[in-house]
A and B are shown apart, each in its own frame.
Chain A
Amino acid sequence: MSLRPSTDGTSRFESVARLVLATAGASVALAATLPLLLVALPFWVVRVLTSAGGKLSRRLQPRETPWEELVRFEPEVGWIPLPGLDTHARAGHLFHLSTDEEGWRGPTSLHDADIVVVGDSFAFGYGASDRDLFTEQVPGLSAKGVGANGYSMVQGLLWMERLGERLRDRTVVWIVYYGNDLYENLVPNQGRYRMPFVRESATGRNDWQVVTEHVGPEPWPFHRDRWYDQILAEICSRTFVSDRAFRACEYLIGRGRDLCREAGARLALVGNPDVDMVRPGGIAHLRERSSAPGTFDVGRPDRELASMCERLEVPFYALSSVLTVRDHLPWDCHWSPQGHRKVARVLARIHRDLAPSPGETPATGTSEPAVARVGG
């Protein structure tokens, strides 16, 4: 055997000797791990079969359309769902969705609607198939959702402005989702999409303006994943972010109220909690993520919105008083079919509060949930 040293000085003999010793050791070690492999076998089998079964299940389902293929660029607003969609999308599970000739969900036309629901993906009815959509289940009334995934309140306001006269004599229900709407009123992008936002004018505090100049089809160059749990935790705490978010929100509600008044429509605001705010363990989960856990209060968004709505004389309804974890999808933040049914009944109640017909009483069998109402 050659004793020629290798590059770092060890001889061939030493290398071979070690290889022989290590081979003997490895053989014993492998034999020692054999029982482990036998115990691990069922875990591997289940993993392989689970993966194969999942693939089979996906193959048997209709094609899923990613969100990016459901929207197109819309000047000033950022994006809008494509008109005439008839496809499937995913919110943990596949669901069927269709849009009208304007891009809004559901077969009811805006012209025929008693209630117009403005908002984000919840107003769009993301996660619910057409048959389960809340706008199609309002007892004795017709409703239309004007919303899209990712919309903040600023986009809702711009749509109210655009729809103007078409809102006349209608009940406009503005849904504010605490999970991201309040925060994203303040930011210029949603991922790579540019979106309008509000900022305080240089003239002073509480003088806000809607900014749309940056909105265009080009991707926003600077973006990173947002951790929405942390954002919601901040909104529920006494922080700089939440203080700013609530002031911006009050400005937007005030603008919305004025627009609806000018259009001859009745505005109501609905506070929509994130599932973590009604889920057992969810509140502790959020508190852990707050930068000021001592001031964390899961009821803060409801209270702040109720108080600003009272000042602005806009009726406010808190869905946190009616929605439970079962009213949300198991793998997604959006409402379950049961949640849609509840929200439909809340809409009926709001319409009855704001535009009661002479001698009107709730229809039999359409028990309206005891949703907390403040102001207006």
Chain B
Amino acid sequence: MLKIVLDAPPDREGLQGFGIAIGLLAAAALVLVAWALGVAPALALGAGLIVWMLAAGLAWRRPEKLEGAYAGWNRLARAFGRRAAAVVLGVSFYLVVLAAAGAGRTRGLPDMGPAGPAWKPRGTLGADEYGGLGGGRRSAGSGSARELARWARGTGRAWILLLIPFLLLLDAFDVSGREEAPSSIYTLY
């Protein structure tokens, strides 16, 4: 799912895109405020256009001037992302997982866990099963939502599929990416 933090560190084009984006948001906000204050629509749109063009012009000519704003926006996004992820995690655990487990138990349903350990011993694969040193072959759809759905239906745990929207949100709010440039960003010195 689309993340809320911007790529860091930004390159020149990333900063230019950010300038265009922030300019557009600022222009939209200006137009809305002007409209709410009863300013003539043409005047409001004109002012918005000027604001956007100024921001886009600065971004185009001197994108490095936007580095601070870009970093500030990302700090804001990270701060929000961390809190939002905690909320999503808490809400999904207490309202979905515990609803399925705790509430189920109060109605006399058995524990959700399997009777024995989930570990199932397997023999080794044949040599032709290995695609190379990087790992063995994977079947089509391996690790996909379809595979999860197949497993959930087969084991009677279809409720787990209800966690998917929350997992997607957690992915969107994930802020664990690198915050500094790797030292290998240069092709060759």
Binding site for B on A (CB under 8 A): 6-12, 14-15, 17-19, 21-26, 28-30, 32-33, 36-37, 39-40, 42-58, 61, 66-67, 91-93, 120-121, 149-150, 177, 179-181, 190-191, 225-230, 330-333
Partner of A50, one of B21, B87, B92, B156: B21
Cross-chain contact of A44 among B4, B157, B187 (Cβ < 8 A): B4
Identify the stretch in B41-49, B94-102, B124-132, B135-143 within 8 Å (CB) of chain A at 4 or more residues: B94-102
Chain A contacts for B172, CB-based, 8 A: 40, 44
Question: Main secondary structure on chain B at its contact with chain A?
Answer: helix
List 11 A–B pairs whose Cβ atoms lie within 8 Å, in order of A's numbering: A19-B158, A22-B162, A26-B162, A33-B166, A39-B80, A47-B5, A50-B20, A92-B11, A181-B189, A225-B184, A331-B185
Contact B188 A24 (CB under 8 A): no
Contacts of B107 in A (CB 8 A): 17
**Complex contacts, B186 vs chain A, CB 8 Å:** 91, 228, 332-333
Measured between alpha carbons, how far is A263 from B176 in the docked complex, in Å?
57
Q: A46-B22, A228-B186 are in contact. List 5 more A-B contacts (CB 8 A).
A: A24-B99, A26-B99, A44-B2, A47-B6, A67-B187
Q: Which of B25, B155, B165 contacts A46 (CB 8 A)?
A: B25
Structural contact, A30 and B165, CB atoms closer than 8 A: yes
User: Of all chain B residues, which has the CB nearest A120?
Assistant: B189
**Could you tell me if B188 and A53 are in contact, using CB atoms closer than 8 angstroms?**
no
Residues of chain A within 8 A (CB-CB) of B84 are 36, 39-40
The complex places the Cα of A227 from the Cα of B107 at a distance, in Å, of: 58
Tell me, yes or no, whether B145 is within 8 Å of chain A by CB.
no
Contacts known (A7-B154, A15-B158); A43 close to B77, Cβ less than 8 A: yes
> Can you list the 10 inter-chain pairs with the closest CB atoms, starting with the nearest?
A53-B17, A25-B99, A49-B21, A54-B17, A22-B159, A150-B188, A53-B20, A15-B156, A43-B4, A149-B188
Nearest CB of chain B from residue A126's CB, rounded to whole Å: 8
Given contacts A8-B156, A25-B100, A45-B21, contact A121 B12 (CB under 8 A): no
B28 to chain A: closest residue by CB? A45
B69 to chain A, nearest CB (A): 11
B24 to chain A, nearest CB (A): 6
Count contacts on B: residues with CB < 8 A to the other chain: 65
- Asked, given contacts A43-B80, A48-B2, A149-B188, whether A22 binds B99 with beta carbons under 8 Å apart, the answer is yes
| Distance between A54 CB and nearest chain B CB, rounded to angstroms | 3
**B window 17-75: CB within 8 A of A:** 17-22, 24-25, 59-60, 64, 67, 73
Closest to B162 in A: A26
The answer to whether B6 touches A50, judged by C-beta atoms less than 8 angstroms apart, is yes
- Contact check: which of B60, B109, B184 meets A14 at CB < 8 Å? B109
Inter-chain contacts of B114 with A (CB < 8 A): 8-9
Q: Which chain B residues lie closer than 8 Å to A45 at the CB level?
A: 21, 25
Q: Are A29 and B13 in contact, with the CB atoms below 8 A?
A: no
Closest beta carbon of chain A to B117's beta carbon, Å: 11
State the main secondary structure of chain A at its contact with B.
Answer: helix
In the complex where A8-B114, A150-B189 touch, is A32 in contact with B80 (Cβ < 8 A)? no
Known: A26-B95, A54-B16, A331-B9. A42 touches B188 (CB 8 A): no
Chain B neighbourhood of A36, CB < 8 A: 84, 87-88, 169
Contact partners of A46 in chain B: CB under 8 A: 6, 18, 21-22, 25, 73
A52 in contact with B17 given A8-B115, A92-B11 (CB within 8 Å):
yes
Q: Do the beta carbons of A58 and B13 come within 8 Å of each other?
A: yes
Of the residues A24, A39, A92, contact of B12 by C-beta under 8 Å: A92
Q: A28-B95, A49-B17, A149-B187 are in contact. Are A330 and B67 (CB under 8 A)?
A: yes
Q: Residue B149 at the A interface, CB < 8 A?
A: no
Residues of B within 8 A of A18 (CB): 100, 104, 109, 112, 157, 159
Evaluate whether A21 and B183 lie within 8 angstroms (CB atoms) in the complex, with A33-B87, A149-B188 already known.
no
Note all chain A residues with C-beta closer than 8 A to B4. 40, 43-44, 47
In the complex, chain B residues whose CB is within 8 Å of the CB of A17: 104, 107, 109
Q: Give bound CA distance, A142 to B42, whole Å.
A: 58
In the complex the two chains form, what is the Cα distance from A121 to B21 in whole Å? 35
Note all chain B residues with C-beta closer than 8 A to A39: 80, 84
Residue of A nearest to B173 (CB): A40
Known: A18-B112, A228-B183. A53 touches B19 (CB 8 A): yes
Q: Do A93 and B18 touch across chains, with their CB atoms under 8 A apart?
A: no
Evaluate whether A228 and B184 lie within 8 angstroms (CB atoms) in the complex, with A22-B96, A22-B159, A55-B17 already known.
Answer: yes
Taking the nearest CB of chain B, how far is it from the CB of A278, in angstroms?
A: 16
Complex interface: chain A residues within 8 A of B20 (CB)? 49-50, 53, 56
